[in-house]
């Protein structure tokens, strides 16, 4: 698994075709408060039951609030055979600080 900071993830999104799958594993209330447009929302507790919703052929950037839950999910995805998994280090908090300062923070 790669660890990329928010600026590196933004550069990856902008440079990739197709863009990586953004997998947001936060709780529904967190996702409703703020998220990156186009992200697939699957709360961490539902990952196992929704693996079929996650395209194993795509590069996947896993997102949470600060990067800890996403790290755990990224490790799990790798253990299930997902080959191109990236953890957004610093999470949505770092994204709001470094990429999208207009995004609400909590």
What amino acid positions are annotated as catalytic residues?
64
Phi, psi values for residue 48, rounded to 5°: -60, -45
């Amino acid at each position: 698994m790669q660890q990329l900071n928010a600026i590196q993830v933004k550069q990856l999104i902008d440079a990739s075709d197709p863009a990586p799958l953004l997998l947001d594993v936060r709780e529904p209330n967190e996702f409703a408060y703020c998220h990156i447009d186009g992200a697939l929302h699957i709360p961490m507790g539902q990952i196992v039951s929704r693996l079929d919703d996650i395209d194993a052929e795509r590069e996947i950037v896993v997102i949470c609030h600060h990067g800890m839950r996403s790290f755990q999910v990224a490790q799990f995805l790798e253990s299930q055979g997902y080959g191109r998994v990236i953890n957004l280090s610093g999470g949505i908090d770092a994204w709001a600080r470094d990429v999208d300062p207009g995004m609400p923070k909590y």
